[in-house]
Amino acid sequence: MGCVTGRRRTAHLALPLALALTLGGCGTVVDWPARVPEATVPPEAVGSAPQVPAAVDEGLRTDGPAPTTEGSTGKEPTEEPVVSKVSGLVPLGREDLADLAAELDRALTSGDEEEWIAFFDGDEDLLEQQRRWFRGVQAVPMDVREILPETVVSSDTPEGTVVQLVLAHQISGADPVPAVETYRVTVQRPPGGEPRITRMAGQDRQDGHPQLWDLQALAVTVTDDLVVLAPQGRESDVAAVLPGLESATANVFLDFDEGPRDRLVVQLADADDLRAITDDQELAVDPAGVAMTSAGLAERPERGEVGVTYSRDEHVDRIVLDLDLLPGDLTFGTPPGGFGLMRHEGVHAVVDGAPGVRPPVWVWEGLAQWYGFRRDYVLDDAYRAVVTGSSGQPLELPDSFDDYYYDSPEAGDLAYASSAMVFTFLEQRFGFETARDAGVGLTQVDGWVDTSDADALLGRLTGMTLEGLEQEWAAWALASYG
């Protein structure tokens, strides 16, 4: 189950069907209200969506603000550096940030943990967190692993200079482009001394943070189809669920175009870390799975410069699943075809739709939910609940993300089940391939304002219009489950 947000990071969330199709979802960060992506927002909601800050508008990040300290130009000083009256430290300018990022990048590239730690000056918690982070980032197979300077946020605060750094990383075989993860960093440079980092934390949810390496010491497993990240100490649980994850992924790759990837990245987390990754306090229930997209790296800064350009369209997909829930599905062995939850999130990860189009949310969730659990007879119970829950009212497909994620578990059950039922109807009448092709095609055409493209697609595949499909589905549902 899932949703897509208008932020750079897209979230699809799901709960196991065994939990009566109880929904998960994506939702609201306190200072960054999340919504389904523009691709799934009804037209009347688009105008009311929160405005993206200028620095990240349209998926791009520019150099950012100039240093805020009066008299600090960001250029290399030709005289003795000016000591701040606020902090007693030497503020960093843009060239200083570029130099620091280059040194950090050399340490990261070298793989020398002590060289990396030497840049940090803080308590044991900071140093231990950085050791875990460094080991995790080194353990994950990456074609790109680098630190880039983004911007000087404030060159003079009582704590020092605040800057933003980017970890650009491309996981081997999985990421079509390097992803960006942004960190807000406090740097202190005493007179005559070298700059040292005293604080390093995530910047914003839309900037790819956190990944599991930010939260836990990692154990990494690589197979033909997967790169699996999990907490150290959970190796036996990973081994138990790995066959179900691999089987599900192989099915997704077989039935859908996996695009420019050979593997999917799956992060197995406990409930607390999964909640931290979604950072959504308004979900009706805790999610069991989420598929996230992080922005891709469009342009690096020139040598000695700062400023990173993001790409919203060129992005990477990451799946996060609740490791505490999956083993419970192994009572009777690995499920046929793999875990339904993994198949659901796998569809979200490989079916991206088309930039700028707005299909209804039921298309995204219905396709993934149907494919994830089409082999499961529990779907019949969920479908029957949709019909009996209508209380004689005409069946309609939900078009509000609130129905799926924020209203209530009961509303989410009905929303996911009714959406999946459309594709079960198509499969029973026209076959699996037609149901799949209709779902994938509908993610690529606008279904809110102008249904002509959707009508043409469905007409070619089924002989129905979009309106006709909804009418035929409703009649079939009443006849089959009434």
Q: Residue 46 has what pLDDT?
A: 35
CA–CA separation, 218 and 429 (whole Å): 46
| Residue type present at position 247 | S
Q: Cis (ω within 30 of 0) for the bond into 178? A: no
Average pLDDT score over residue span 406-417: 92
CA dihedral for 254, 258, 259, 263, sign (positive or negative): negative
Q: Residue 13 has what pLDDT?
A: 52
Query: Where do we find the tokens 């909640």?
Result: 275
For 72-116, the pLDDT digits (tens) are: 444 554 567 899 999 999 999 999 999 999 999 999 999 999 999
Residue 317 lies in a domain: yes
Backbone angles phi, psi at 150, to 5 degrees: -100, -60
Burial of 20 (0-12, 13-18, 19+ CB in 10 A): middle
By C-alpha distance, which of 431, 177, 213 is closest to 309?
Answer: 177
Q: Which of 48-57, 184-193, 347-356, 444-453 has the lowest mean pLDDT?
A: 48-57
Q: Which of 74-88, 187-201, 289-303 has the lowest mean pLDDT?
A: 74-88
CA angle 339, 343, 348 (to 5 degrees): 145
Q: Residue 52 has what pLDDT?
A: 31
Q: Is pLDDT above 70 for 283?
A: yes
Q: Residue 295 forms beta bridges with which residues? A: 315
**Structure tokens, 438:** 């209709």
Burial of 121 (0-12, 13-18, 19+ CB in 10 A): middle
Q: Is pLDDT above 90 for 296?
A: yes
**47 and 66: one domain?**
no
Tell me how many helices (H) and strands (E) the chain has.
Answer: 14, 10
Q: Are 164 and 180 within 8 A, CB to CB?
A: no
Residue 141 CB partners (closer than 8 Å, separation 6+):
171, 172, 173, 220, 222, 227
Average pLDDT score over residue span 396-425: 93
Q: Residue 394 has what pLDDT?
A: 81
Confidence of residue 353 (pLDDT cuts 50, 70, 90): confident
Q: How far apart are the first and last CA of the chain?
A: 25
**42 and 95: one domain?**
no
**80 and 112: one domain?**
yes
CA–CA separation, 291 and 24 (whole Å): 12
| Residue type present at position 433 | E
* Pairwise pLDDT comparison (72 vs 247), residue with the higher score: 247
CA–CA separation, 439 and 466 (whole Å): 12
- Measured CA distances, 340 to 4, 132, 318, 421 (Å): 19, 32, 17, 16
**25 and 62: one domain?**
no
Confidence of residue 235 (pLDDT cuts 50, 70, 90): very high
Residue 113 lies in a domain: yes
**34 and 58: one domain?**
no
**40 and 154: one domain?**
no
Residue 2 lies in a domain: no
What is the extent of the structural domain holding 340? 10-53+221-302+312-481
**192 and 339: one domain?**
no
What is the CATH classification number for the domain harbouring 123?
Answer: 3.10.450.50
**31 and 76: one domain?**
no
Residue 5 lies in a domain: no
| Residue type present at position 267 | Q
Q: Residue 356 has what pLDDT?
A: 80
Which of 213, 245, 270 delimits the end of a domain? 213
Residue 3 lies in a domain: no
**376 and 343: one domain?**
yes
CA dihedral for 362, 364, 366, 367, sign (positive or negative): positive
**171 and 295: one domain?**
no
Q: Residue 438 has what pLDDT?
A: 98
What is the CATH classification number for the domain harbouring 417?
Answer: 1.10.390.10
Q: Residue 10 forms beta bridges with which residues? A: 293
Q: Residue 171 has what pLDDT?
A: 98
CA–CA separation, 199 and 185 (whole Å): 6
Which of 191, 213, 235 delimits the end of a domain? 213
Report the percentage of the chain scoring pLDDT > 70. 83
Our count of domains for the chain comes to 2
* Pairwise pLDDT comparison (251 vs 76), residue with the higher score: 251
DSSP letter (8 states) at residue 251: H
Q: Are 393 and 356 within 8 A, CB to CB?
A: no
Write the secondary structure of 157-177 as one string of H (helix), E (strand) and C (coil). ECCEEEEEEEEEEEECCCCCC
By C-alpha distance, which of 297, 288, 291 is closest to 322?
Answer: 288
The β-bridge relationship of strands 226-231 and 264-269 is: parallel
Coil, strand, or helix at residue 432?
Answer: helix
By C-alpha distance, which of 290, 436, 442 is closest to 358?
Answer: 442
Which of 160, 179, 213 delimits the end of a domain? 213
Q: Buried (b) or exposed (e) across 160-179, using 16+ Cβ within 10 A?
A: bbbbbbbbbbbbebbbebbb
The β-bridge relationship of strands 309-322 and 264-269 is: parallel
Q: Is pLDDT above 50 for 322?
A: yes
Average pLDDT score over residue span 270-281: 90
Average pLDDT score over residue span 423-430: 98
**202 and 80: one domain?**
yes
Residue 142 CB partners (closer than 8 Å, separation 6+):
169, 170, 171, 172
CA angle 78, 83, 89 (to 5 degrees): 120
Q: Buried (b) or exposed (e) across 73-97, using 16+ Cβ within 10 A?
A: ebeeeeeebeebeebebbbbbbbbb
Rounded mean pLDDT of the chain? 84
CA–CA separation, 317 and 172 (whole Å): 13
Residue 345 lies in a domain: yes
Residue 461 lies in a domain: yes
Q: Are 185 and 305 within 8 A, CB to CB?
A: no
Query: Where do we find the tokens 């900071």?
Result: 126
Residue 307 lies in a domain: no
- Nearest-10 Cα torsion for 144, 149, 150, 153: 150
For 213-222, the pLDDT digits (tens) are: 999 999 999 9
**317 and 444: one domain?**
yes
